[in-house]
Structure 1
Amino acid sequence: MDHRPCVPGTSLIAEQPPAHRRRRRVLRRVLLTALAGGAVAGAVLMLVPREQAHEPARPPAEAPRTQALTAVASGVPAALPRLTALIEQQEQRVRAQPRDARAWAVLGAAYVERGRRTADAAEYPKAERALRTSLELRGKRIGGDTAALEGLAALAVARRDFPAAKRYGEQALKLAPKRWTVFPPLIDAYAGLGDHTAVRRTLEKLLALRTGTATRSAVMAQAAVVYRDRGWREDAAAQLTDAAAAAGTPTEQAARLTGLGQLAWERGDLQDALRHFEAALRLDATTPAAAAGRGRTLAALGRTAQALAAYRSALSQDPRAPDALELGELYESLGMARQARAQYDRMEELVRRAVAGGVDQELLIGRFEADHGDAQDAVRRLRAEWRRQPGAEVADALGWALHRAGDDKEALTYADAATDRAKGGGVLSAPYAFHRGVIEKELALYGPARRHLRQALRINPYFSPLRVPAARAALGALGDAPDEPLPTGTSR
């Protein structure tokens, strides 16, 4: 097994040779076969429940708390029961020792992780107060509090506040340039800001560190995210396959398999996606995105009743606004307008809750308004979002909103930014290609429109129950490409 991310000075930025890819595809099949069988301190203290007097010690709970502490400190996914046990322990500790800066930092990081896993943004204000309390207690001591800054960076990523994530991440990196857990939120921040050069440079530094066995899986998973965003799907899948094999807990392994399922879905490999999502759910039924991914895949396979049940299960367990929007669009594609409207209303309520917890939901709101509401409002929101954090997702959404509002000329500049490799838009995204193709069709750029619409359906012929029929109809309206002479100077 290749563990090159853990070898000092080794970079995975270069394309890997075909032999490595073939070997890793075999490893992935073997892995799947095996898996198929199986803020001031006082303000925060008001949020901490009081201990009951003379509560007896419970030794059996120590192991889960210790394991969760290790996971949180190592930047890897932790099981929800263990996270809850850790949070209870840290709440008790800061009540007993309110000037323990490290305990506040651990508590804040645990709140962030639980909020991320459960999509409960109410955890985030508690996390912020705990992390800021840790910083205040450290004061101006030499070395500062890297753990608290790191936690604030992770919190900012969870809230989609990439400028803040960059600020905290860079402060933490300055204090601890060899601490690997500083790097992932900083990479996410640079990606959200559209700084692809900084993403590449920061990943290079991460891969050059000496990371231990316990963190190997998380490092490879982070590399996979970057590779996926650059359009290197096989490299991303190879990294996640190795990450799943190296995972230290079922929860961590489930997270890696969910990532593999998402990659398979994005390339239209439905059976592979379904195997990964179901394997992840067998390992940990609370894995974020696995249940919704299963629903999405079942819908594409035509197993509609099972798909609806999977979505409803996902939303009852961890209600997330994007999943409610997806389910609403599935209902709409089935002609079930009343049920679709109920899910859109549910999405809006979930968005309100997330915003109350400090989460930036302008991208999701803009996407929803462009397709189902007020396109002009979508443009206003997404322009402001683009000024603040101009990543590829925002470029695509703003371009589509401008198209829906009737300004295709300006829309094309953003669709181009989202899909042009030279501008950082290397991700192979069927929705992005579809949006660009439709915009080009409206501008009478028929050749590029055909190319991008075909590309969308080639990348993933099932990418959306609403948009796939629209893509096919647009291609049908364009007809076959006429014979055109080759450009001057081009040889056959």
Structure 2
Amino acid sequence: MQWNDWPPSDPNLMPGYEAWREGRLNDAQAFFEGQASMRPDCDDIWRGLGNVAWVRHDFRNALTHFSTALRLAPWNPMHWGNMGLVRRDLGEPEAAIAAFCVALGLDAEYAPALNEWANVLFDTGKHEQALPLYDAALAIDDTRAVVYHNKGVCLRYLGRLPEAVEYFEAALARDPHYHYSLEELRRLSGCVAIAGR
């Protein structure tokens, strides 16, 4: 399972997922709620409701919906990854890491869980410990700008500015419109020149 494996197993649920991805959250929520009333045992419906709540920063409801999806399909690493995301956002780093570990136990090649685990370590000030996890995610899938960016931010916090610049540039090589890395490069342009003297 990888980054682009988000589509539901039932193609009839795509209208809700497309609405969510397009930012039409009210439409997505109405769609998934209607589906849930007819098919309460479909994990991808609850994942969809969790996604909508998570984007709205309604982390308690996201936790409820992701928990339901997980109860219905505990073998799905994406559900464990979503639990990790919402636990992180609820300020529960240990629970987040535990969920990412379960996701990786189900699928050792699940790069999103490695990236998010690294982000939790970064958020808790464990920058050096985060770096190998970013590297592991990149070893599985080196096409994701977000992972290069995240590692660049981690390197910046460690004061390794030339390396950070390399990772922000690598992010932009994969997605020239990745504005977070553009902002970082603008901020660092003077610092790296000074540090290199």
Taking structure 2 as the reference length, what is the TM-score of the superposition?
A: 0.74
Q: Which amino acid aligns with 2:139?
A: E
Whether the aligned pair in 1 keeps the contact of 2:43 and 2:68 (CA below 8 Å) is: yes
Q: Which amino acid aligns with 1:243?
A: Q
Q: Which amino acid aligns with 1:300?
A: D
Whether the aligned pair in 2 keeps the contact of 1:369 and 1:378 (CA below 8 Å) is: no
Other-structure match for 1:259: 48
Other-structure match for 1:341: 131
Matches within 5 A, 1:116-265: 118-119=1-2, 218-219=11-12, 221-247=13-39, 250=41, 253-265=42-54
Matches within 5 A, 1:291-310: 291-310=80-99
SS at match of 1:234: helix
The one of 267, 281, 285 equivalent to 2:74 is: 285
The one of 93, 107, 112 equivalent to 1:322 is: 112
Matches within 5 A, 1:415-454: none
Aligned residues: CA RMSD: 2.9
For this pair of structures, how many residues does the alignment match? 174
Structure 2 unmatched ranges of 5 or more: 155-163, 188-197
Q: How far is 1:346 from its partner?
A: 1.8
Q: In 2 relative to 1, CA 232–363 (structure 1 residues): closer, same or farther, beyond 3 Å? A: same
Distance of 1:367 and 1:244 partners within structure 2: 37
Distance of 2:39 and 2:77 partners within structure 1: 17
SS at match of 1:289: helix
1:16-44 CA deviation, whole Å, 9 max, x = no partner?
xxxxxxxxxxxxxxxxxxxxxxxxxxxxx
1:332-367 CA deviation, whole Å, 9 max, x = no partner?
111123431231122122225xxxxxxxx2444554
**Does 2:185 correspond to 1:405?**
yes
Distance of 2:97 and 2:134 partners within structure 1: 15
Q: Which amino acid aligns with 1:378?
A: A
SS at match of 2:186: coil
Distance of 1:362 and 1:311 partners within structure 2: 19
Over the matched positions of the two proteins, sequence identity in percent amounts to 24
Distance of 1:265 and 1:367 partners within structure 2: 22
Distance of 1:305 and 1:230 partners within structure 2: 32
Q: Which amino acid aligns with 1:276?
A: H
**Does 2:65 correspond to 1:272?**
no
Q: In 2 relative to 1, CA 231–337 (structure 1 residues): closer, same or farther, beyond 3 Å? A: closer
Q: How far is 1:260 from its partner?
A: 1.1
Matches within 5 A, 1:42-53: none
The one of 141, 147, 171 equivalent to 1:378 is: 171
Structure 1 unmatched ranges of 5 or more: 1-117, 122-156, 159-183, 185-214, 353-360, 384-394, 408-492
SS at match of 1:275: helix
Whether the aligned pair in 2 keeps the contact of 1:255 and 1:287 (CA below 8 Å) is: no
Q: In 2 relative to 1, CA 256–288 (structure 1 residues): closer, same or farther, beyond 3 Å? A: farther
Q: In 2 relative to 1, CA 288–260 (structure 1 residues): closer, same or farther, beyond 3 Å? A: farther
Distance of 1:229 and 1:309 partners within structure 2: 27
Distance of 1:275 and 1:376 partners within structure 2: 38
Q: In 2 relative to 1, CA 298–362 (structure 1 residues): closer, same or farther, beyond 3 Å? A: closer
1:107-150 CA deviation, whole Å, 9 max, x = no partner?
xxxxxxxxxxx44x9xxxxxxxxxxxxxxxxxxxxxxxxxxxxx
If you compute each CA radius of gyration, which structure gives the higher value, 1 or 2? 1
Q: In 2 relative to 1, CA 406–303 (structure 1 residues): closer, same or farther, beyond 3 Å? A: closer
Q: In 2 relative to 1, CA 313–402 (structure 1 residues): closer, same or farther, beyond 3 Å? A: same
Distance of 1:237 and 1:279 partners within structure 2: 16
Whether the aligned pair in 2 keeps the contact of 1:258 and 1:290 (CA below 8 Å) is: yes
Matches within 5 A, 1:81-92: none
Q: How far is 1:291 from its partner?
A: 0.8
Q: How far is 1:288 from its partner?
A: 4.4
Q: How far is 1:369 from its partner?
A: 5.5
